[in-house]
Structure 1
Amino acid sequence: MENQIHFGDQIPQFCTDAQVAVMDSGVIEGGLNVTLTIRLLMHGKEVGSIIGKKGESVKKMREESGARINISEGNCPERIITLAGPTTAIFKAFSMIIEKLEEDISSSMTNSTATSKPPVTLRIVVPASQCGSLIGKGGCKIKEIRESTGAQVQVAGDMLPNSTERAITIAGTPQSIIECVKQICVVMLESPPKGVTIPYRPKPSGSPVIFAGGQSSSAAISPQLTKLHQLAMQQSPFPIAPSNQGFTGIDASAQTSSHEMTIPNDLIGCIIGRQGAKINEIRQMSGAQIKIANPVDGSTDRQVTITGSPASISLAEYLINARLSSEATGLAAN
């Protein structure tokens, strides 16, 4: 039986379309038995190359590296490859993946008229709350990583859809990418993520976004449950703006806007939580301002106003709908 770790069991901290958690540079270089998890975000064609015919390529990587390698299911344009295991095993597997991508580039050059060989490019996924540490004050940290490794590193300004993660794109020679990822791991470990991380899960192309937990067949138990599920399905994906501001890693959407939601009075409690704990948590995670209007005589609903950047509004709305969906699932189970 293959030794696999399933995406979602653990939220890693570094990503080439991946995530990794590491202790410090000494641990990485020394190869001590520290367990890491790396998540890589790759296009389907690249994933097919990693898997190989009848899975032979990925099987070889598992056997030779000793790392656990799991590939997310589904016919999605993008897939998540999760690497887990001791540091030495992780970076062995990581190196083999990069070598494979390098081979593919060389093969594609055979019949190409291009004169220069493109660099290997990878994306890793990182909790947005850690990106500030990775960028550093005035961009000093990311500049240091670029200069010391020779790799190009870009931190996306927007979060990946329906998640609190950002993609980091790394391009360069295989060795520069490996060194770059090691340095990113060190920063991630020194600055753990804040709050709860909602991991990015690629969606099949052209399919509607369905919120996990929101598709309970018991939704028809009561009108209240039906209403809950309708509300839970209203979340919109995060805006992925074309980042003209470059990959600053800072939420550059300085413009502030407002969005209003309507929530039934009898459901508002699950959003507010005991002594306001839940609503404060949503405010903190999203960075948005959230105001719940006082009850209006004769109305069965409450108005909720969310103010902030487009990304923070989308995240706040997503988290509120997640609470409603969770409540619906709980009621359906009773």
Structure 2
Amino acid sequence: MFEISRQGKLVILGIGIPTAVGLLYYLLKTASDDDEEDIAGRKSSSSATSRQTVIEVQVPRKAVGAVIGRQGATIKEIQEQSGAKVNFKDYTQSDDTDRTVVIRGTPEAAQSAECRIRHILANMPVIVQAEMEVPKYALGRIIGRGGESIRQMSRASKTKILIDKTRDSYLDKPQIITIVGAKDQIVVAKGLIQEKLDEEEEFRARTAVSAANRETRHKVKDSNSQSHDRMTHSANNEENNIETDNIERTGDRDHNLYMEFPNGRDYVEVYVSAIATPGHFWVQTIGSMALQLDKLSDTMTRYYEGEGKNLMLSTVEKGDIVAAPFENDKTWYRAKVMDIINQSELDLFYVDYGDSAYMASSLVKPLSSEYLTLPFQAIECRLAGLKPNGEWTEEAFNKFEALTYCAKWKVLQAKAVKFSSGTIPHVQLIDTNGSKDIAINEEMIKCGFAVADT
């Protein structure tokens, strides 16, 4: 039988006691570390090592721009001042999802960066949405050429200014403008929009005075005259012929001399200035150029009634643009020579109004080049979606003249449905002057003067 001496037992006991103590210490230490790590994990979303701390902060989508700053200026400043690295996690979710910003650095640097970000979030202005009603006719001035005005107002007020262009109405119902931004920013945006509205109202007041001062023009030729029908934009293809003298004999061959009808979905305010037939007429668009035309006519009248009174045409050719009066009207206008009759009488087309008249060549003057800077205002149009019920009668002509307030300078709404011959708009006309809107195209059909053209 194997026996262990008393001395051997002591040796084994001496070896066993330290090992047991060491094992017990290791188990207690591990449990303590696990408890501390669990407590630390519950108290903070950061994880620490001996070298760096990582902190993640949720940033609302609308606040991301404020944290990043213009061209990254704000986030760069946070990194420089805190000494931590700050980056957004890759973004692959929907636009409504918060973004996560990751901060890495020493505990002090990471906490400093976190504090700066949370300060930005706490001081973010509350973004709200407001609406403003404006007259539809003021949209052009508010939007500006190519949208420049509305972009400038958005930048100046630091808001988003949105216009719902899906509604296509000629009615006098107001247009809704939506403004998105902080409350004080919205106040600024509304003030800028109001300035544009005031400008438009002032302009419309001047236009109304100008229209009231215009003479009512009457047709000279009967409604079956062919002079109007000869006037198409095919003349644009003729060769340009301009002399260098101050008083120039020039043709209207340059397409840029003609106003074009605005090609868009919205209705445009116009005057009907002349009628060849109910299906073929001329309009002037209402805008700054209408005021410029009145000023041009006044300037021409003063010149040809004064300094230029004794000027005479030395030669004249078809297609020349000349200065001429209108029958029973002392005002001078720009006109195109459509035909020369026995070298003593000219068939004239008034390029700013669409009227035609025969005029003795002795009464016509050469046109100074300075009077050619303004585009010709008469825009040739057709009624859309209809054709005469047989032939256009004098009764139909008179009805259309009354419906359109021809040459009486009352505003109608016009919308181009299509274009023929490249530039001639086929339009829908709406009269909104009364208590009830009148669709003129439909009214001509309803009265039996026209039928639908499908």
Question: Whose helix fraction is larger, Structure 1's or Structure 2's?
Answer: 1
TM-score, scaled relative to structure 2: 0.24
Q: Under a length normalisation based on structure 1, what TM-score does the superposition of the two structures give?
A: 0.30
